[in-house]
A = this chain, B = another copy of it.
Amino acid sequence: MKKEIVKINQLWTDIYYQLRYTHQEKITHQSIRIMQVIEKENEVGIKEIAKAIQVSHNTASEHIKRLMEKEYVFKSRSSKDERKVILRLTELGGEVLHRHSSLNEEKLEHLLYEKMSSEERQLILDAFTLMRERVNDVYNR
């Protein structure tokens, strides 16, 4: 493995460790992964969840039941196929997922607006934008 790759991963995990949210609510690993899929993909139903986290469809259904009890997720039905569930995050669910996968906004603002010049800030934004664009080229056809 090239050493730049290892280096970037080191930087990535260091940045996340320092800038993540703390004092987060209790939540399970599966719940986070499920909510990530719902947020990042379109038209996600029970079957897609089961595939994404590698469990049976009935287990996936139980997960969703629990997430609905916590009001992190709600269901609607596809208009094209009334058998199919379409899952979405509630506002609360979105906030919870944010606190478990995003960078702390206050810390990020402090870093970008008080510890960096506008040129440095632009460098960060350009790099992330480039990376996301190229990633999309690779993984979404």
Chain A binding surface SS class: helix
CA–CA, A5 and B131, complex, Å: 17
Q: Which of B11, B19, B105, B108 contacts A128 (CB 8 A)?
A: B11
Q: By the criterion of a CB under 8 Å from any partner CB, how many residues of chain A are at the interface?
A: 57
Let me know if A92 is at the binding interface, CB within 8 A: no
Task: Please give the count of copies of this chain that the complex contains.
Answer: 2
* Most chain B CB inside 10 Å of its own CB: which residue of A11, A15, A103, A125: A11
Instruction: Tell me if A111 and B126 are in contact (CB < 8 A).
Output: no
CA–CA, A136 and B68, complex, Å: 39
Residue of B nearest to A12 (CB): B103
Let me know if A23 is at the binding interface, CB within 8 A: yes
